[in-house]
Amino acid sequence: MISLHAQENLTAYINGKIYTVDSQQSVKQAVVTQGSKIIFTGSTEEALKISGSKAVVIDLNGKLMLPGFIDNHVHFMAGGDYLNGLDLRPAKSTNEFRELLKKYIDAHPDSKWITGGDWDHEAWEVKDLPKKEWIDEFSKDKAVYIWRFDGHMALANSYALKLAGIDKNTPSPAGGIIEKDPVTGEPTGILKDNAMNLVGALTPASTEKEREASLEAALKETARFGITSVHDITYRNDLKTYISFEKLGKLTTRIYTRIPISEYQNLSHSGITYNFGSDLIKLGSLKAFADGSLGSSTAWFFDKYVQDTTTSGLPMDIITDGSLDKWAKDADLNKLQLSVHAIGDRANRYMLDLFGKIIKENPQWDRRFRMEHAQHVRFEDIPLFKKYGVIASAQPYHAIDDGVWAEKRIGEQRTHYTYPFRSFIDQGVLLCFGSDWTVAPINPLLGIYAAVTRQTLDGKNPGGWIPEQKITVEEAVKCYTINNAYAAFAENELGSIEPGKFADLVILQEDIFSINPEKIRDVKVWMTVFNGKTVFKAE
């Protein structure tokens, strides 16, 4: 019998399949929560006995309950901006791309800047990158700066390029590329990685009201998909809005922040170390970039690209000028977690070597290095993840998206060590999952589907793209729950359904462990519980 301090604020979830994700992967019938915490898991009979007559009783009728999903990599405020703004992802042709953009511009005659978009040229009938000439005709009096969905490439119209002072004589900055017409030498409008800052720095900052609207939209989206915690890439104004919502009691998702590494001294000088903050907002983790993206051909490889043999990708300027090595070592010395974006095989190896150097030179602590994406990792480098305690922080939906076109970028041989989920797990590397929203859909069930089936979006790999790297549904659920909790130093509070942990729960319409894995992508969330309160219920 469990002793309760008071027979108040009790909720009993009964007659369910409770997949706890505890150390034994136990399956229970019922859960009892009191306020924000879980106080019991076990049988329905025991749950009703413990709860008493005052409890709210929710009959799950056999539905599957999991710990609330945790997304290991989101651009949360940008996601809200996307939901409230320009959406070019539906475009399946160059004409649709132009038409959607023109329609949006026409509907916003007072806007001096048009930003956002998340276009994807790989989805068009012609896979060529867009050019400023495609859009100049209907955007002569306003600046257009719209980025590819991966965030590593953008298209600027002539007006925006002029404002930024970019012309045929402008050199590409370190860590970036200004694409130029091979005949005329004029900029095409495509800016990659650090070159994006030349125009991006001119875009007006969002207002407080706009940020609040974006956060409200993002929170609604996470609740709809059963997400109760996110690991965010966080900027100063974002953090102010998060804290404001926390004070108002409006946060319905826990936010684990990763601040740009260039600002690490703001944390260290304030005495902030890893896992600092409240139950809702945490500080003490940093985000850095080692390279670009595969879609932009700026992911950094040892060998040249097959599609463009003039390049092997692009190490970021903070690598080439030595800043990353210095900052990373100093940040680690101040017990700040390092979370570094690495896509290409050379970027991953570079970071592994740097992590190894930091371990050797700095005092020992529970540092939990994270490799964000860990996308193309040579098999001989995987043991270094385990050796240095590096968490592979991956986003499985990318595999079924990139798998449509990755081979033409890097050739067939290198694709075999792309998204090596099975290899990571088999070699004892802690693997955790997320979306990279808005680069990919935020729905964790799509991520689980992708990791388990590896069926590419074009339908051309029914048996799975690189099928030997498939993992099980149980493993994928761990990657979206307890493994993510560990990656954020929260395994004692989140990630499993156990007494004493926060009552962050998701109940699904169907049992993803028993249905055909191909159907997981269609499963819906029935209820999301955050901090003991229902924040979403399907109609």
pLDDT at 47 over 60: yes
Q: What is the pLDDT of residue 206?
A: 87
Q: Reply yes or no on whether the pLDDT at 348 is more than 50.
A: yes
Residue 4's pLDDT is: 45
Give yes or no for residue 5 having a pLDDT over 70. no
Contact present, 85 and 458 (Cβ < 8 Å) = no
What is the Cα Rg of the chain in Å? 24
Task: Evaluate whether 478 touches 431 at the Cβ level (below 8 Å).
Answer: no
Q: What does the block give as tokens for 456? A: 């590419």
Ranges for all domains in the chain classified under CATH 3.10.310.70: 113-200
pLDDT digits (tens, 9 = 90+) for 143-180: 999 999 888 899 999 999 999 999 999 999 998 999 99
Nearby residues of 306 by Cβ (< 8 Å), 6 or more positions away: 408, 409, 410, 411
Burial pattern 224-259, b for ≥16 Cβ within 10 A else e, equals bbbbbbbbbbbeeebbebbbebbeeeebbbbbbbbb
Identify the DSSP state of 62. Answer: T
The yes-or-no verdict on residue 73 having pLDDT over 60 is yes
Q: Using one digit for the tens of pLDDT, what is the confidence trace for 203-247?
A: 988 899 999 999 999 999 999 999 999 999 999 899 999 999 999
pLDDT value at position 1? 40
Tens-place pLDDT, residues 482-491 = 999 999 999 9
Is 529:508 a contact under the CB 8 Å cutoff? Answer: no
Average pLDDT estimate for 89-101: 94
Quick one: three-class SS letters along 222-267? HHHCCEEEEEEECCHHHHHHHHHHHHCCCCCCEEEEEEEHHHHHHH
Average pLDDT along the chain:
96
pLDDT digits (tens, 9 = 90+) for 491-512: 999 999 999 999 999 999 999 9
CATH 3.90.1150.10 is right for the domain spanning 208-533: no
Q: Phi, psi at residue 386, to the nearest 5°? A: -65, -45
pLDDT in tens, 248-283: 999 999 999 999 999 999 999 999 999 999 999 999
Strand pairing of 276-277 and 281-289? antiparallel
Could you give the CA distance from residue 195 to residue 173 in angstroms, rounded to a whole number? 6
The Cα–Cα gap between 234 and 311 comes to 31
| Average pLDDT score over residue span 78-102 | 93
- HSE value, Cβ hemisphere, 13 Å, CA-based, for 180: 16
CATH 3.20.20.140 positions along the chain are 208-533
| pLDDT digit string, tens, across residues 439-463 | 999 999 999 999 999 999 999 999 9
Give, in degrees to the nearest 5, the angle at Cα 271 between 267 and 275.
Answer: 75
- Rounded CA separation 489/232 (Å): 15
Contacts with 178 (C-beta within 8 Å, 6 or more apart), sequence order: 166, 170, 171, 172, 187, 190, 191, 192, 195, 198
- Per DSSP, the residues of 406-444 read HHHHH-HHHHTTBS-HHHHHHTT--EEE---BTSS---H
| Dist. CA 160–CA 198, nearest whole Å | 10
Residues 100-113, mean pLDDT to the nearest whole number: 93
What is the pLDDT averaged over residues 110-134?
92
Q: For position 255, what pLDDT does the model report?
A: 98
113-200 is a CATH 3.50.30.30 domain: no
Q: What is the pLDDT of residue 363?
A: 98
Confidence of residue 17 (pLDDT cuts 50, 70, 90): very high
Say if CB 393 and CB 368 are below 8 A apart.
Answer: no
Work out the pLDDT band at 7, boundaries 50, 70, 90.
low
Three-state DSSP class for residue 221: helix
